[in-house]
């Protein structure tokens, strides 16, 4: 083996070496989780309490993502192997390796890793500014202030935005005003709380409690710049995908990216009235602007 190949391995630029490392790390994670109940790990994955359940959930989720990448028969590889470049996979495997190392550091050595990778776990204001400044440049020569990949690290921002806009489109929300006039701000977490407490309006294809947890977790990143573990972002995307996907149902119909999921006999006017009463505000919901339609095959 020449020096260049050895350097690529150390720098985590060698895909096969990274995958081999991940297989070994998965064994360590599974050994740690042996006989631990992780059936409800998703309810702890986005918790703000860094306790034993939270740590077990991180280990379980990391194992899930390693399985996707290293198992040639996984659905992930079946769907994406023809679209992902080697550089894409190098980036993903590197993120997993580094974040598992960070997880071990946070737990003060629960995983007993022999070697750890040290890197920052937050993004600086300069990174956000420079990426905004050069966002319309094809070739971006941006001096990164950490060794993190900016696009990968900022996935929570896109996840949060997709949840907020999706919910607003589901009910055709146009504007919210104070009673008597004037803009009124109702945050997305309050809207999610409302629909969680009033389950008779929308039949969400995603567990709304998990949706609330994911939304709160994304806010932590947005307001602090502290980067979450990469598997949390990947798992969140898997969890909310049903809000956006096209699926066959038993009647042979297709829901085109945005079926409202309103329950039977529920109208937009019913939801508008309930929102007005609950928030002491005047919501304007436009039924014609609600996303989606049903196409019969």
Q: Over the stretch 214-270, which tens digit does the pLDDT of each residue have?
A: 999 999 999 999 999 999 999 999 999 988 876 555 555 555 544 678 888 899 999
The share of the chain scoring above pLDDT 70, in percent, equals 92
213's tokens: 């947890």
Which range among 95-104, 118-127, 161-170, 205-214 shows the weakest confidence by mean pLDDT? 118-127
Is 125 within the bounds of a domain? no
Give mean pLDDT, residues 180-186: 94
pLDDT of 46:
96
Q: How far apart are CA 247 and CA 47, in angstroms?
A: 30
> Are 262 and 196 contained in the same domain?
yes
Rounded average pLDDT over 59-67 = 97
Displacement of CA 138 from its chain's centroid (Å)? 26
What was the pLDDT predicted at 292? 46
Same domain, 112 and 171: no
The verdict on residue 40 lying in a domain is yes
Considering the domain architecture, whether residues 16 and 112 belong to the same structural domain is answered as yes
Residue located via tokens 């860094």 = 50
Read off the pLDDT of each residue in 173-190 and give the average, rounded to a whole number: 95
Does residue 158 share a domain with residue 285? yes
Give the pLDDT score at 133.
Answer: 93
Do the domain assignments include residue 61?
yes
Stretch 102-115: mean pLDDT: 88
Query: Are 89 and 162 in the same domain?
Result: no
Our count of domains for the chain comes to 2
pLDDT value for 160: 96
Number of other residues whose CB lies within 10 A of the CB of residue 285: 22
Does residue 201 sit within a domain? yes
Contact between residue 96 and residue 230 where contact means Cβ atoms under 8 Å apart: yes
pLDDT above 90 covers a percentage of the chain that reads 68
Short-list 59, 50, 56, CA closest to 29:
59
Question: What mean pLDDT do residues 24-53 have?
Answer: 93
Confidence of residue 134 (pLDDT cuts 50, 70, 90): very high
For residue 230, being part of any structural domain is answered with: yes
**Is position 28 within any domain?**
yes
Residues 287 and 174 in one domain: yes
In 3D space, the residue among 142, 129, 193, 140 whose CA is nearest the CA of residue 167 turns out to be 193
Same domain, 106 and 174: no
- The verdict on 170 and 112 lying in the same domain is no
Q: Is residue 2 scored above 70 in pLDDT? A: yes
Q: Which residue has the higher pLDDT, 289 or 57?
A: 57
Is pTM, for the whole model, over 0.85?
yes
pLDDT band at 288 (very low <50, low <70, confident <90, very high): low
- Whether 238 and 104 share a structural domain: no
Q: Is the pLDDT of residue 12 over 80?
A: yes
Q: Closest Cα to residue 243, out of 254, 232, 258?
A: 258
10 Å CB burial of residue 47 (0-12, 13-18, 19+) is middle
96 and 19 share a domain?
A: yes
For residues 266 and 163, state if they share a domain: yes
At which of 102, 119, 136 does a domain end?
119
pLDDT band of residue 56 (cuts 50, 70, 90) is very high
In a domain, 141, yes or no: no
Apex CA 194: angle with CA 221 and CA 226, to 5°? Answer: 5
Average pLDDT over residues 116-142: 88
Q: Could you list the residue range(s) of the whole structural domain that residue 216 is in?
A: 154-296
- Rounded to whole angstroms, the Cα distance separating 64 from 239 reads 13
Tokens 């309930």 correspond to 274
287 and 214 in a common domain: yes
Of 95, 119, 143, which residue constitutes the final position of a domain?
119
- The answer to whether residue 235 is domain-embedded is yes
Q: Judge whether 252 and 55 are in contact, CB under 8 Å.
A: no
Task: State phi, psi for 175 to the nearest 5 degrees.
Answer: -165, 165
Question: What is the pLDDT, as a whole number, of residue 24?
Answer: 95
* Confidence check: pLDDT of 296 > 80: no
The mean of the pLDDT values for the chain is: 88
Q: Tally the residues of the chain.
A: 297
Both tokens of 22, joined, read 């991940």
Nearest-angstrom CA–CA distance, 85 and 88: 5
Average pLDDT over residues 155-168: 95
Is 291 a residue whose pLDDT tops 60? no
pLDDT of residue 3: 85
Q: Which residues pair with 285 in a beta bridge?
A: 173
């Amino acid at each position: 083996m020449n020096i260049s190949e050895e350097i690529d391995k150390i720098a985590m630029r060698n895909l096969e070496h990274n995958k081999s490392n991940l297989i070994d790390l998965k064994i360590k994670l599974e050994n740690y989780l042996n006989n631990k109940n992780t059936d409800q790990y998703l309810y702890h994955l986005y918790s703000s309490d860094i306790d034993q359940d939270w740590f077990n959930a991180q280990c379980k989720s990391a194992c899930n993502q390693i399985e996707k990448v290293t198992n040639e028969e996984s659905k992930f590889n079946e769907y994406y192997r023809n679209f992902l470049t080697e550089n894409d996979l190098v980036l993903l495997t590197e993120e997993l390796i580094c974040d598992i190392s960070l997880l071990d550091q946070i737990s003060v050595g629960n995983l007993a890793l022999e070697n750890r990778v040290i890197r920052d776990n937050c993004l600086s204001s300069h990174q956000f500014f420079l990426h905004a400044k050069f966002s319309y440049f094809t070739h971006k020569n941006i001096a990164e202030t950490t060794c993190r990949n900016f696009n990968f690290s900022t996935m929570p921002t896109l996840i949060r935005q997709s949840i907020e806009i999706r919910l607003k489109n589901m009910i055709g929300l146009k504007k919210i005003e104070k009673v008597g006039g004037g803009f009124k701000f109702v945050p997305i977490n309050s809207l999610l709380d409302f629909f969680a407490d009033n389950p008779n309006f929308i039949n969400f294809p995603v567990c709304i409690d998990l949706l609330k947890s994911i939304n709160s977790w994304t806010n932590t990143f947005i307001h602090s710049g502290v980067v979450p573990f990469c598997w949390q972002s990947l798992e969140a995307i898997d969890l909310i995908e049903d809000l956006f996907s096209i699926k066959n149902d038993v009647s042979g119909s297709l829901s085109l990216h945005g079926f409202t999921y309103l329950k039977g006999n529920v109208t937009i006017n019913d939801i508008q009235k309930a929102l007005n009463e609950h928030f002491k505000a005047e919501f304007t919901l436009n039924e014609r602007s609600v996303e989606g339609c049903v196409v019969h095959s």
